[in-house]
Amino acid sequence: MQYENLTRERARQASGDTVLSICSAGVLESTITVPSQPGSKPPLLALHGISRNAGELSRAFASAAEAAGRIVVVPHFSADKWPVYQRLTRRARPDKTILALLTTLRAMDEAFQGPVDVFGFSGGAQLAHRFAMLYPEAVGDLHLGAAGWYTLPDETAAYPYGIADAATRRERWSRLMRSGLRSFLQRRINVYVGSNDTLRDGSLRQNELVDERQGVHRLERARRYVASVNGSQAALGLPCTARLEILRGCDHSFSTCAEQGGLAARVCEHN
């Protein structure tokens, strides 16, 4: 179902249906969950990992959204249109896709007029923090679940590992991220990772540079990312707002993190 100029009451009745938004890569399908009693929290955009388990995210967040009174939108980046959606690319730009989705959502409901909170898991967390670095004005709180690796707010490391210029055409991304760095760092950044997320599997980026700077597994990389963000905030005289939440007994499985670690509830209820 495609929505145009949807009122709050009609959106509430249509909860669980599909929102269609159009961008240069094609049509993006997103599932929207609207609680019966919306509260004061901003809407949440939830980005899936490379398994593209959008349905699993929608189901996991449904009860949490209802309990927290929060609208949750889960887009599905299909493999044919967005083969590397977790990274900024010249083809099928995922950042432009999210901007088009937000434009559609603003036409649906006034709740989307301001910044939205953004959650991502694994590859979705990679996209989430890079999108927030490029468009900090569009993002409220940032929730990152077990990213494989990060673009650090580090002006000594070349993009994509940091935000210094690289000897490639990627310099445009690094310049944009540097120009918005202070704004990006003026938000709460919550990082979640399982205590058992230490496996160096095939989907984890592995090379000497990222292993040395960020750690050899996702748990260590999450710790170092939080330390890097807080260090950058302190250097600019900003409050240190990055926080790490370790999900005890959880590995790199969204379902385990959601069911055993209460990840969806933690994100939706976060203040």
Q: What is the largest CA-CA distance in the chain?
A: 53
Q: Which of 157, 63, 57, 139 is nearest to 95 (CA)?
A: 139
Q: Which residue has the higher pLDDT, 11 or 248?
A: 248
Please identify which residue in the block is written with the tokens 């590995």: 251
Tens-place pLDDT, residues 46-68:
999 999 999 999 999 999 999 99
Listed by start position, the domains of the chain span: 33-70+109-269
pLDDT in tens, 116-172: 999 999 999 999 999 999 999 999 999 999 999 999 999 999 999 999 998 766 668
pLDDT band at 1 (very low <50, low <70, confident <90, very high): very low
CA neighbours closer than 13 Å in the CB half-sphere of residue 189 = 28
Which band of pLDDT confidence, cut at 50, 70 and 90, is reported for residue 16? low
* Mean local confidence (pLDDT), 199-216: 94
Question: What is the end-to-end Cα distance of the chain in Å, rounded?
Answer: 32
What amino acid occupies position 16?
G
Instruction: For residue range 241-267, list pLDDT tens digits in order.
Output: 999 999 999 999 999 999 999 999 999
- What CATH number should be reported for the domain whose range is 33-70+109-269? 3.40.50.1820
CA distance 134 to 85: 15
Q: What is the predicted pLDDT for the residue at 91?
A: 79
Measured CA to CA, the distance from residue 196 to residue 210 in angstroms comes to 20
